[in-house]
Amino acid sequence: LESYEAAQGWIVVTIIGAAIGLNAAFLNIITEWLADIKMGHCKTAFYLNENFCCWGEDNGCADWERWTGLEPINYFLYIMFAILFSFTSATLVKSYAPYAAGSGISEIKCIIAGFIMKGFLGFRTLAIKSIALPLAIGSGLSVGKEGPSVHYAVCTGNVISKLFNKYRQNASKTREILSACAAAGVAVAFGSPIGGVLFSLEEMSSYFPLKTMWRSYFCALVATAVLAAMNPFRTGQLVMFQVHYDRTWHFFEFLFYIIIGVFGGLYGAFVIKWNLRVQAFRKKYLANYAILEAVLLAAATAIVCYPNAFLRIDMTESMEILFLECEGAEDYHGLCESKHRLRNVISLVIATVVRVFFVIISYGCKVPAGIFVPSMAIGALFGRTLGIIVQALYDANPQSLFFSSCQPDVPCITPGTYAFLGAASALSGIMHIYVSVVVIMFELTGALTYILPTMIVVGVTKAVSELFGSGGIADRMIWFSGFPYLDNKEEHNFGVPVSHAMITDVVSIPSTGLTLKTVERLLAKDNYQGFPIVDHENSKILIGYIGRTELCYAVERAKRERTLSPLAKCTFASSTTNSSSAMDPTATTPIVLTTSASLPSEPLDYASSSSTTIDFTRYVDATPVTVHPRLPLETVLELFRKIGPRVILIEYHGKLMGLVTVKDCLKYQFKAEAAEHGDRDREVLG
């Protein structure tokens, strides 16, 4: 039985991983089919997408047919499908599971940090998210499925782990599982198990011990293996595309890599800023028109994007095309041909601008929607543009000193690698994740030779992003929504002791003497998370701490077990805990012994003799986290982050001086920041 206990964690993680992998395979297949059905259908079997319909053939086939032969009607049908899909998706979300909207990453970050959000990870959210996500992607909105896949993975983990006793009762163990699920979510979305683990470490988890890392590793492994076994793309690959760059880079290209890195940083800052404004607008004016908004967005996206070759297709597909090395016969709409260079550049620039605009207005609308792949697609568009320009420069001056390290016979500049680096840069610019981006790009494409360029680009993006400060889009959304979350990336420097932020008018409970009535009134009236236990109301010598939930439970239980007079005395400290109360002459521990007046069948133990003295000692935490009032506030925040208590008590020479919670610290921080910057930041959201 004991070894079952120990193994239970791994069993649960295996089941969860398998479920996530299955779900991901299912979603991949549906998403592809929905994306293709907008264009045409398979004559032999309607349920096949273009790829499977034309299995083994390269550029379409006779079995796959456009809806009609007339291009304007195809255009119209494309728009109609987009509207239908987005309408269905938004209606499902609105009617059944409002929490299924968006990417969910911000909320999950808070939940993993200890915040409670009922229903956010429930079964209904999981089901609706799994159905509405392919529809949202299929509708052609500029949103991705990678962010939401973290949400459905974490939902899966939450739903399944709740079936096991161990996790139903232990919130901190559940959070460990949720961290692992976040890793598996990214792992299946990108086919990048190690990237998933690092994503969970870098972005999702405020506390990530090695044990959680191994859980995440294992969960991501199982999920990816199941996905590989399902083989949804029938290519034997985990990802939709894989590139092999045979050509290597040159040191002079570092200059352009820096440009790409700067673009990523600027892109992130720009999109975050404007997206937050759109969010504020949406919150204020569009709250009741969620479905209409989604439909209009989808229609507008379809109308605008259809004419552009790079916008019409799925974003993942467009990335695959943009990453092409242009070796051999591979080509798409003349992208590889140097004679179409100008046309391509114009088309790419238009596509970049349009895509950025749609990402800003689409991310946050009320369908399941992520921002990973849209950002990567934008980065790839920009990168390819730059790559083609550099190639043109080289072709114009092949003999110049700058290009001297190029070998004469082989192509020197590979625009596909610029697209690849652009994707990495934009992703890290928007999410403010770095190491995981390098690993994800790496696992996504297998471009081993390009690890140094990727690291440089991402490093530059990080430096630029930091000039604009204040975290990635997930952190900004947390801030925008006002969730209590301690960002462990930022370093706060308050320069004040904790006593400046603490609450001093604390309702504390004396260890003895309080009647049950008073305790119940305390529980009914006050909205505190818990109560410090003190020796005596005047001396305030700290004895312990009792959480509100524990106290409620204890009172309920005591009342259920026997009939209690409302005047029964409550004690919160046994005599052993009180041993040194001799120091304080005012503290006395009166022990009232009365015979039990209630149940005759009750055994004659300690409990039976105390129907008018209720002992709550075992619910009291005798060793709460306490600090000195002069301890710097930074250190207190560190304690919250690393040790993770709900509340920290301030004790001075044994006396309770006050308490702080994370919220109090954040309140103080907001006040301090407001005093410093004025209302500059808030105003942005006006």
Token pair listed for 50: 């273009």
Tokens 């005395």 found at: 569
Pick from 85, 101, 80, 480: which is nearest to 290 by CA? 101
Burial of 659 (0-12, 13-18, 19+ CB in 10 A): buried
- How is residue 410 annotated by DSSP? S
* Cβ closest to its own copies, residue 108 vs residue 238: 238
Q: What are phi and psi of 61, to 5 degrees?
A: -160, 180
Q: Least distance to its own copies from the beta carbon of 648, Å?
A: 13
Q: Least distance to its own copies from the beta carbon of 305, Å?
A: 32
* Cβ closest to its own copies, residue 242 vs residue 308: 242
Q: Least distance to its own copies from the beta carbon of 573, Å?
A: 12
Q: Least distance to its own copies from the beta carbon of 126, Å?
A: 26
Q: Least distance to its own copies from the beta carbon of 509, Å?
A: 17
Helices 71-96 and 123-138 pack at an angle, to 10 degrees, of 170
Cβ neighbours for 316, distance < 8 A, ≥ 6 positions apart: 240, 241, 373, 377
**Do the Cβ atoms of 668 and 506 come closer than 8 Å?**
no
* Cβ closest to its own copies, residue 378 vs residue 457: 457
* Cβ closest to its own copies, residue 158 vs residue 581: 581
**Alpha helix locations (H) across 59-170?**
71-96, 105-112, 123-138, 146-161, 165-169
Q: Contact positions toward its own copies, by CB under 8 A? A: 193-194, 197, 202, 209-211, 213-214, 217-218, 221, 224-225, 228-229, 236, 238, 242, 248, 251, 434-435, 438-439, 442-443, 446, 448-449, 451-452, 455-456, 459, 462, 488-489, 491, 541-542, 580, 583, 622-623, 626-628, 630-632, 635, 638-639, 642-643, 651-655
CA atoms of 274 and 369, how far apart (whole Å): 17
CA atoms of 599 and 366, how far apart (whole Å): 57
Cα 394 from chain centroid (whole Å): 42
Q: Least distance to its own copies from the beta carbon of 18, Å?
A: 14
Token pair listed for 683: 């105003």
Q: Least distance to its own copies from the beta carbon of 491, Å?
A: 8
Q: Least distance to its own copies from the beta carbon of 519, Å?
A: 24
Cα 313 from chain centroid (whole Å): 27
Contacts 24+ apart (CB under 8 A), 158-166: 158/121, 158/122, 159/121, 159/122, 159/123, 159/126, 160/12, 160/15, 160/16, 160/19, 161/12, 161/16, 164/8, 164/12, 166/5, 166/8, 166/9, 166/12
Q: Least distance to its own copies from the beta carbon of 131, Å?
A: 29
Q: Least distance to its own copies from the beta carbon of 206, Å?
A: 10
- How is residue 325 annotated by DSSP? -
Cβ neighbours for 328, distance < 8 A, ≥ 6 positions apart: none
* Cβ closest to its own copies, residue 140 vs residue 510: 510
* Cβ closest to its own copies, residue 228 vs residue 304: 228
Cα 53 from chain centroid (whole Å): 36
* Cβ closest to its own copies, residue 15 vs residue 631: 631
CA atoms of 157 and 14, how far apart (whole Å): 10
- CA-CA-CA-CA torsion for 91, 94, 100, 103, nearest 10 degrees? 80
Q: Least distance to its own copies from the beta carbon of 577, Å?
A: 8
* Cβ closest to its own copies, residue 17 vs residue 368: 17
* Cβ closest to its own copies, residue 139 vs residue 216: 216
* Cβ closest to its own copies, residue 301 vs residue 581: 581
* Cβ closest to its own copies, residue 642 vs residue 671: 642
